[in-house]
Amino acid sequence: MKPFLYRSGITVLIAVLVMMTTAPILAQDGPSLPDNCSNVSLEYWNPFTGPDGPYMGELVNAFNEANDNIEVTMTTQSEYYTQLSTAAASGTLPDVAIVHADQIATQAYRNVLRPIDAVVEQIGVSSADFPEAVWNAGEVNGKRYSIPLDIHPMTMFVNADLLSAAGIDAAPTTAEEFAAAAAALTSGDNNGFMITAGFPIRQIFEMILYQFGGTSFNEDGTEAAWNSEAGVQAAQWLLDAQAKYSQPNLEVDAELNAFKGGTVGMIWNGIWQTTNVTGEGVGFNGQAVAVPQVGPNMAVWAGSHQLTLPTQPDEDPCRDAAAGIFIRYILDNSVTWAKAGQLPANNTVRASDEFKAVEPQATIASRSADYVFFPPAVPGITDAYGPLDEAISALMSGNATDVQAELNNAAERANQILAQNRETFATAP
């Protein structure tokens, strides 16, 4: 038995306990090392410094147990993208790395990542194995730079005790059900729905924008598009919901704290908040469910961790083959990763009986995974969101009142950033 290779600020004891209670779905027909390759060592970096770290540590240890000729050493990094940039400058990048979907194009243009097309072919995965949006996030200029590991969607958290007391036996899934529930739960000191003027209000705005038929950017990511009629509808929906069910000008995390205090019926936040506001995290029946459809189209804001091959001074076919085997193993066994609070990106894993037993992730996946959206795969795209963050925050805090003007101004500023990025990243990878 190989020794544990996983080390971080979270104790190894937790990783041991997780391993004792979790069984990977072992792939029986995955790729193997070429005959001329043996005793391959791989460095694997990720940013999982929270309670999700031990689940990934378990997968790494299980992989090492199952592969005599490949040894993976996992390093969990804080200040993650700074560490990647520093390593790129010194030629010491790891063999495999996790990169967020909205960072793939930026890191590819910065020569931190290299194309992964050959590995995709080697391990036998394709677009058919993943929801279209999360798969497309890994393609830049016609080349593939990543393979999606997971989806972490916007999620609705409900106080089922308050719902029950109001005579509502299920979390709302439609605009009409949501409005009725929010109104019924807004009484006295209780708020039916609570939203803040800070994170994740811009992400919530985007989700409603897409539900009303809009998009954040045009198709090629060269211009902002949120100042459309759908954008005005989305912002107005949020302002109306704030006025009817919430409280004005709330700071970041105010909704989480109030929800945990038992005075709020529903909030929207990332699925990563599940353990914080459900189960033992609260003193009532807190539940995590898929967000409702309040516009004509179902759409769900989401992020994604993606598996990548960083750039190497000297590429080694044996290390690349081993990296492919490791990536395929992580994908095939991502039901274990799902228990950390994520939705597996792999369609087969999400359809498995093992994943269907993982709640609330399985139920959330059934209503969310096929409706997620991501930013266009252009470098520096996250910078262009800055003006939108400020605009939505200004509207929700009451510091701005003209919705169309605020969205127009944000779009104009974002377009300037996008134009500057095209100069900064003028050379395609």
Look up residue 298 and give its amino acid.
M
Look up residue 42 and give its amino acid.
L
Is the separation of the CB atoms in 208 and 293 below 8 Å? no
DSSP annotation of 156 reads: E
Half-sphere exposure of 168 (CA within 13 A, CB side): 23
Which architecture characterizes domain 154-301+378-424 according to CATH?
3-Layer(aba) Sandwich (3.40)
DSSP annotation of 79 reads: S
- Delimit the CATH 3.40.190.10 region(s) of the chain: 12-148+305-344, 154-301+378-424
CA torsion 333-334-337-339 (nearest 10°) is -90
Phi and psi at 380, nearest 5°, equal 75, 15
pLDDT attached to residue 28: 44
Which residues are bridge partners to 289 per DSSP? 156
Distance CA 345, CA 361 (A): 12
DSSP sequence for 251-281: PTTHHHHHHHTT-EEEEEEEGGGHHHHSGGG
pTM of this structure? 0.91
Distance CA 403, CA 301 (A): 21
CB within 8 Å of 228: residues ≥ 6 apart: 214
User: Which helix (H) or strand (E) is 337 found in, with range?
Assistant: helix 334-338
CB-based burial, 109-143: b 16+ in 10 Å, e otherwise: bbebbbbbeebbebbebeeebbbebbbbbbbbeee
Distance CA 415, CA 428 (A): 20
DSSP sequence for 387-409: HHHHHHHHHHHTS---HHHHHHH
Distance CA 20, CA 388 (A): 45
Query: In this structure, how many other beta carbons lie within 10 angstroms of the beta carbon of residue 225?
Result: 17
SS3 content of the chain, % helix, strand, coil (to 5): 45, 15, 35
- Under-50 pLDDT residues of the chain: 1-28
Q: Where are the beta strands (DSSP E) in 262-392?
A: 264-270, 286-290, 300-303, 305-308, 343-344, 372-373
Distance CA 355, CA 348 (A): 10
Is the separation of the CB atoms in 165 and 158 below 8 Å? no
**Distances from the Cα of 388 to the Cαs of 43, 380, 409, in angstroms?**
37, 15, 9
Structure tokens that stand for 286 in this block: 């807190």
Could you tell me which of 14, 4, 1, 149 has the C-alpha nearest to residue 66?
1
- The CATH code of the domain at 12-148+305-344 is 3.40.190.10
**Preceding peptide of 153 cis, ω within 30°:** no
pLDDT attached to residue 317: 93
Could you tell me which of 109, 167, 117, 181 has the C-alpha nearest to residue 144?
117
**Distances from the Cα of 307 to the Cαs of 109, 137, 204, 250, 421, in angstroms?**
17, 12, 26, 36, 25
Q: Where are the beta strands (DSSP E) in 47-149?
A: 70-76, 96-100, 139-140, 143-144, 147-148
